[in-house]
């Protein structure tokens, strides 16, 4: 299936038979990525007396319970409700699911004991009005990200002014291949989250942040169309499956 889409007065052809999945799948073992001091997620068959929900063990169907945390175990999309005392859910925040997007690759730089992504780095790669969404792939990029245990690693993070810059550029949807846009231990400041959502001054309720994506190295930097589709959870965040499509100029 193909479609013609217009962006910035340019028409593009999208081939929906060629998706580029940048999500992490959820596994019920230690090969699953983990952050925030959690243990691995669990996928276990239901047991009721002598009945077990596993065909290989005599059950009539496979019937699993899944125990996980969207923020710490898998690709997830979150709304400002992640940091507010009042409830805001991802279902009410994200109403459309197809966006012009730009993928950039950035190698974090040293900042004291930390590694950070700076405004200057992003400004060289992304300009105001370029796209509704940005995907930030950190370098070096490795398949090890698919199973990395991030707790106590002080991962790289987005500087506050870099998040402000993205907001001022009109970016509505920020995607990154780290567990958070903020420092692992920051005393609850959440500077990048707050700056991107412009919280609490003039909160951008429709804006989202998607974390723990994985962008294979074979996917080149550049312009894409993004399908951002969280699961229907009544929660501040939900597991999601962001998919890119490479457009062709017409």
Euclidean distance between CA atoms 19 and 25, whole angstroms: 16
What's the mean pLDDT when you consider all of the chain?
Answer: 96
Check if the beta carbon of residue 139 is closer than 8 Å to that of residue 156: no
Cβ atoms 245, 178 nearer than 8 A: no
* Helix (H), strand (E) at residue 153: none
Residue 163 in domain: yes
How many degrees, rounded to 5, is the angle at CA 196 between CA 246 and CA 237?
75
Apex CA 210: angle with CA 4 and CA 125, to 5°? Answer: 65
Query: Which pLDDT belongs to residue 3?
Result: 74
Is 103 inside a domain boundary?
yes
Given this model, what pLDDT does residue 133 score?
Answer: 98
pLDDT digits (tens, 9 = 90+) for 139-166: 999 999 999 999 999 999 999 999 999 9
Q: Does residue 107 sit within a domain?
A: yes
Give the pLDDT band of residue 2 (cuts 50, 70, 90): confident
- Of 217, 77, 210, 220, residue with least CA distance to 144: 217
For residue 181, is it within any domain? yes
**Any domain includes 202:** yes
Judge whether 36 lies within some domain.
no
Rounded CA separation 71/212 (Å): 8
The torsion region of residue 39 among left (phi > 0), alpha (psi -120 to 50) and beta comes to beta
CATH classification of the domain holding 137? 3.50.30.50
pLDDT, average across residues 42-59 = 97
Structural domain contains residue 38: no
Does 1 have pLDDT greater than 80?
A: no
∠ CA 81-85-86, nearest 5°, is 70
Q: Is residue 48 part of a domain?
A: no
Tell me the residue range of the domain where 115 lies: 2-24+71-249
Q: What is the mean pLDDT of residues 223-246?
A: 97
Domain count, the chain: 1
Residue 76: which H helix or E strand, with range? strand 76-78
Give per-residue pLDDT as tens, 54-103.
Answer: 999 999 999 999 999 999 999 999 999 999 999 999 999 999 999 999 99
Is the pLDDT assigned to residue 185 strictly greater than 90?
yes
């Amino acid at each position: 299936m193909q479609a013609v889409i217009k962006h910035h007065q340019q028409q593009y052809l999208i081939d929906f038979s060629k998706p580029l999945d940048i999500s992490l799948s959820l596994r019920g073992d230690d090969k699953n990525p983990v952050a925030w001091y959690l243990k691995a997620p669990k996928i276990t068959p239901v047991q009721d007396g002598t009945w077990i929900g596993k065909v290989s063990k005599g059950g009539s169907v496979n019937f699993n319970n899944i125990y996980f945390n969207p923020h710490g175990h898998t690709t997830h999309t979150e709304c400002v409700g992640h940091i507010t005392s009042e409830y805001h859910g991802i279902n009410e925040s994200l109403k459309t699911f197809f966006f012009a997007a730009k993928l950039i690759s950035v190698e974090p730089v040293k900042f004291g004991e930390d590694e950070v992504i700076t405004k200057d780095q992003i400004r060289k790669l992304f300009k105001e009005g370029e796209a509704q969404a940005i995907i930030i792939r950190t370098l070096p990029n490795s398949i090890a990200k698919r199973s990395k245990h991030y707790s106590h690693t002080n991962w790289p993070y987005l500087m506050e002014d870099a998040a402000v810059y993205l907001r001022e550029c009109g970016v509505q949807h920020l995607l990154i291949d780290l567990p958070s846009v903020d420092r692992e231990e920051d005393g609850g400041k959440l500077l990048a989250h707050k700056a991107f959502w412009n919280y609490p001054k003039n909160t951008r309720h429709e804006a989202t942040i998607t974390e723990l994506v994985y962008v294979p190295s074979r996917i080149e930097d550049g312009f894409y169309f993004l399908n951002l589709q969280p699961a229907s959870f009544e929660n501040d965040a939900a597991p999601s499956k962001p998919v890119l499509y490479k457009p062709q100029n017409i």
